[in-house]
Structure formats: C-alpha cells, structure tokens
Amino acid sequence: MQRWVTGAEPAHFLCSPRLSRDAVALELMKTILSVTVSLFLVLPSFRATFADDLLPADQPIPTVIDHYIDLALVDTEVIPSAPATDANMARRLYLDLVGRIPSMAEAQSFVAAADDSKKQQLIDRLIVSPGFIRHQANEFDAMLMNGKGSIRDYLLTAFREHRRWDEMFRELILGESADVEQKGAIQFVRSRAQDLDKLTNETSVMFFGVNVSCAKCHDHPLVDAWTQNHFYGMKSFFSRTFDNGGLIGERDYGLVSFTTTAGESRQASMLFLNGTEVEEPAPKEPSDEEKKQESQRLEELKKNKQPPPPPEFSRRAQLVRVALESQSNNYFAKAIVNKTWNRFFGSGIVMPIDQMHPENEPSHPQLLEWLARDLINNGYDLTRLTRGILLSNAYARTSMWEGEQPPEPSLFAVALPRPLTPFQYATTLRFGSRSPETFASDLSVEDHEKRVEAVETSARGLATLFEQPYDAFQISVSEALLLSNGDRAENELLREDADSLVNKLKVLTDRHQIIETAIWSILSRPPTADEFSMFDQYLAARENQPIQRCQQIIWILLTSSENRFNY
C-alpha cells in the first residue's frame, strides 16, 4: 500500500501493483483523489461538454485518460485490475502496433529489461517501424472496405507519409480517378456506388459514427432529433454520384425525393447530421436531348477508360467541407477517437460504436470531448492518439478479474480479451510456427524486418479464411474444424520446413526445453509449473513419436484461446 499512497497524480497511483480490495483502501483512495482532483480545480459534471470544463489542452494524453477513467472508478467504488505482466504487455503491444506476436527473442528481451521506461521505449520503437504502417493499412482496409475489395496500396502510401485523417477522408470521398494514388482511395465510393443507400449509411457509420439507416423508412425511433429528412439529407450528398465503367462521376443535376410515413412526398436538401443545411446554385434539369448527348459522351469515355468530367458543383465536396467545419467537426473527430479507443480496449467510449447520437451517452463524455479536441488541435494525427492511448495506465491493466462479478466494460477497470482480426490471427499462427532462430536477436534490423514481412505475406492466404470480428463476435465451428482437420492448417503450420518450429523442437531431447521453447515462441511467456507438468506428461507418453508429439504441442498452443485473443 505504501507505493500508491505516494503517487502524486490520480493518473498513476490507481494502477500501481496489487491493490488490496478492502473498504479502507477505497476510502483512503477517495480522499487522495479528491485532494488531487482539486489541484486541477475541476469538478466535472458528466453532462458538461464545454471546452472550459475540460482538463487543459496541454496535458499529456495518458494523464488525461487516466484522470477521467479513474474518476468514474472512484465514483462507482470499483478498484481496477492490476497492471498486466511484462510478458503480457509485450504481446499486447506487438499485436496492437505491428499486428503480430513478438518473437521469442523480442519477448524475452522486453521481460529481462530493467529499465522503468521500457514500455514507452517499445511503443516508440514499434510505432515508427514499417510493421506499424502495414498493420494500420490492414486494419483500415478491413474497416473501410468490409471485405469488398481492397484499398491497401493507397492506405500503405497514406500511412507511410503520415497523412492526416481529414486528408484521407477527403481522398476517400473525393479522390480523382485520374490521380494514380487517389484512384485507390475513391474505391471506397466506387465499391458502394451501385447502392446509394448503402454508400450514405456506410459513410455515416465509418466517418461520423452514426447509423442513419433507421431513419430511412421512418423517423429514428430512438433519436428524436433524427427524422427521415436526415437520412435523405445525407443521401443528397451522394445522389448525383455514379459509376461509369469503374470510374466515378458526379452529375450537376438531380434531386432526391422521398415519401414520409404519412404518405407525403418530399424533396430532400443536403443536410448534415448536426442540422447544417447546404445551399446550392439552382440545378438546371437538362432536356431529354441533352441527357441523350450526355449518355453518349459517357459511353465514349467508358470505352476509352476516361473518367467522367468533374461537376461544376460537387455535392460530395460539400459533404467534406461541412463535415470538417469547426462547428460540426466533432462528429468526424469523435467517431475516429471512439473507433480507435474501441480497437485498443475492445469497447468504445460510446457503444455501439455506430450509435454516437444524442440519446446514447458516452461512458466518459469529457474524455471523448478532450480527445476529439486534442485530435483536431493536432492535425488529426492518429499516430499521436494511438501512442497516447497505449501509454495510459488504463490500457495496461491485466484482463484477469480476481473478484466475483467483473465490472461493466464501460468502466475500463479490466482489460477485455479482444479476438484477433484475420490478419493478426493468420500472421500470429504463421509467426508462432516458425523456429525462434528465424528471428534471432543477432540479425540486422533490415534482415529481421525482411523475414517478418515475408511471414506476413505468407499469411495473407490463411487470413482470408477467418472472419473479421464485429460487435458480440462469435467464433464459428468451421474455424475450429479447419484448424483441427484442414490440410491447409497442417501444411502451413505443422510441416517440417527448414525454419519451422517443429524442426527446432524435434531435435531437442530435454522435454523441459521443448516446452519452454514452444510456449515462449507461441504464447510469448514462460510456462507455468502446471503447464510444465501437463506438457511433460504428454511428451513423455509419446517418446516413440518424436516429430508428431512436437507437432501436437505446437497445434495445442497455436489453437488455444490464449493465442486467438489479444488479452
């Protein structure tokens, strides 16, 4: 108890190791917190959303996160779980930052390091590595494209050049087909251009955290402020967009009309989610003859694989403009803050993440507000946000809950096990089935990187066999059957290749050494005494099948829950 009493800031003392859970400790903690909070002269009310009420903008992100998270913990009298072990932390950070598990050498060197700032050093090293760019591209590709095509090449370039999120948004919505690089970005629109309702709704979900599809057929049942006008108002931004032989065009005319539940026919105008209406020059409806000429021109362009001419007045450009204006950009900023938070915590500050509307309160409104402001003030820099979240104590807790009933996920009092995304899992399986020597610590940085990238590339096929996790995700029995009996699982993970883990283990005669190497290689941690004993019995009973027993142990570890989740 001595250690945390001396903590000077609320951001740090709550997460010191091993808190006792008795009431005395809780009372003491509350006293300390009330003193430290008063240092900020802020006693926030949960409804406040004004910048004046927020912690100062110059505070470090992790300090602010822990301040607000800890306030709610004290309020609800919940003592958070202890910090994760070093080995757990290393695995979590590698999976979150570079989309793979650490090698045995990487995990062991992190655990062995005595430096107090080793976590920060690791984050700072990984976040500038090429692996981070590839992992960001994979994650955003899955998020933006939903498996309908890929814009990975565009994303790789964008992340490599540290492009701002607002810039990427502009390119994804407005990208010019003629521009080599933006041609990739505009696939976001093109892949949905056949179904404008879908384009409208998925744009709202991805960039503004709002699912407007409820308001298509009737006024939103849960949100008074949202009517059919809002759905069709959002749709109006896309209504003139069309696909001309794989190239996106936009017309200068055309209006959206819809029928209300009362049966009244209405004309929609461009209306952003916050109620901002966008004026436009009166559209001139072309004559039939002009339309005929237009369609002939488009046919011609299609034949020559030329993009349609840009409109004089682009409605999509209006969406980008209005969404990034200072009075409305909090939708855009909060949505990506919430998505990023959800990615690293397994639960958003607003849940579900596509229901960021006035009737669905965030669990920590001021934190969301502060982080959104920070993002806007710092050039929509997602790497800065990611680094800030990963440095917080809230992120660093163990996922083990010692008490009876685990606390609500919205308190962020205990880490949640997060199912790996298809790329993370496939890469982890491939990576874990390699011999530790493949990634030995004496390799040059370049060679190490080359080998890692080769493993990632080799995992791309396997990744297509897994499902992208969603809210309340369930793992299917076909995945279990595939990994239990599929020839692909056997060929890709258990074969005796030169650099395979099987090859490494089969020549070891000391069973403890086999167990130690296998568990470090796959689970990135030392075996427990129980595990030594269980695996030892398994191996001892199979002395006469030296290769198969190693394959079986590798299979057990690769397919275990521990290896399926980022915990």
Partner 1 sequence: MKSPQRFLSENASGQAFNRRSFLGGTSLGASAIASNMTILNMLKSPALAEELKRQEKRVILLWLAGGPSQLETWDPKPGRPTGGPFRSIQTCLPGVQISELLPAMSQRLQNTAIIRSLNTKIADHGGGATLMHLGRRDEPNVKYPDLGAVIARELGRANSTVPDYVTFYTATEGRSNALGQAGFLGARYMPMFLTTDSKPENLSRRETISDVDHRDRAELQKLLSERFGRGRANATLASHNEAYSRVRGLMASEELFNIEQEPQAVRDKYGPSLFGQQALVARRLIEAGTPFVKVSRAWWDSHGQNFETHLELVAELDHVMSTLLDDLEERGLLEHTLVITLGEFGRTPSINPSLGRDHFASAWSTSLTGCGIKGGSVYGATDEDGNTVKDGEIGAAELFATIYKALGINPHKDYFVGSRPLPLTDPGTETVAEVLA
474 contacts partner 1 (rule: CB under 8 A):
yes
The one segment of 48-56, 396-404, 438-446, 498-506 that binds partner 1 by CB under 8 A: 396-404
Rg (CA), the chain: 27
Q: Report 535-564 residues binding partner 1 (CB under 8 A).
A: 535, 537-538, 541-542, 548, 552, 555-557, 559-562, 564
What's the CA angle centered on 322, arms 252 and 470, to 5 degrees? 100
**Tokens (6 digits) for 117:** 């700032």
506 contacts partner 1 (rule: CB under 8 A):
no
CB of 84 vs partner 1, minimal distance in Å: 13
- DSSP for 184-199, please give it: HHTHHHHTTTT-HHHH
Nearer to partner 1, 336 or 353 (CB): 353
CA of 287: how far to CAs of 254, 258, 314, 318, 484, in Å? 12, 23, 21, 26, 64
User: CA 15, 20, 21, 25 torsion: positive or negative?
Assistant: negative
Among 30, 478, 512, 513, indicate the residue that binds partner 1 (CB under 8 A): 478
302 contacts partner 1 (rule: CB under 8 A):
no
β pairing state of 241-244 and 256-259 = unpaired
Q: Cβ(564)–Cβ(503) under 8 Å? A: no
Q: Cβ(227)–Cβ(352) under 8 Å? A: no
481 contacts partner 1 (rule: CB under 8 A):
yes
Among 6, 45, 117, 485, indicate the residue that binds partner 1 (CB under 8 A): 485
Nearer to partner 1, 182 or 398 (CB): 398
What gap in Å lies between CA 100 and CA 106, rounded to an integer?
A: 12
Among 289, 446, 487, 543, indicate the residue that binds partner 1 (CB under 8 A): 487
Nearer to partner 1, 346 or 436 (CB): 346
Among 48, 55, 317, 482, indicate the residue that binds partner 1 (CB under 8 A): 482
**Tokens (6 digits) for 413:** 């009092």
214 contacts partner 1 (rule: CB under 8 A):
yes
Three-state SS string across 308-331, please? Answer: CCCCCCCHHHHHHHHHHCCCCHHH
259 contacts partner 1 (rule: CB under 8 A):
no
CA of 54: how far to CAs of 44, 46, 51, 383, in Å? 8, 11, 5, 22
CB of 227 vs partner 1, minimal distance in Å: 17
**What amino acid occupies position 302?**
K
Mask 338-377, x = binds partner 1 (CB under 8 A)?
-------------xx-xx----x-----------------
User: CA 394, 396, 399, 404 torsion: positive or negative?
Assistant: negative
Instruction: Point out which residues bind partner 1 (CB under 8 A).
Output: 195, 197-198, 201-202, 205, 211, 213-214, 216, 222, 351-352, 354-355, 360, 399-402, 406, 416-417, 419, 467, 469, 471-482, 484-487, 490, 530-531, 533-535, 537-538, 541-542, 548, 552, 555-557, 559-562, 564-565, 567
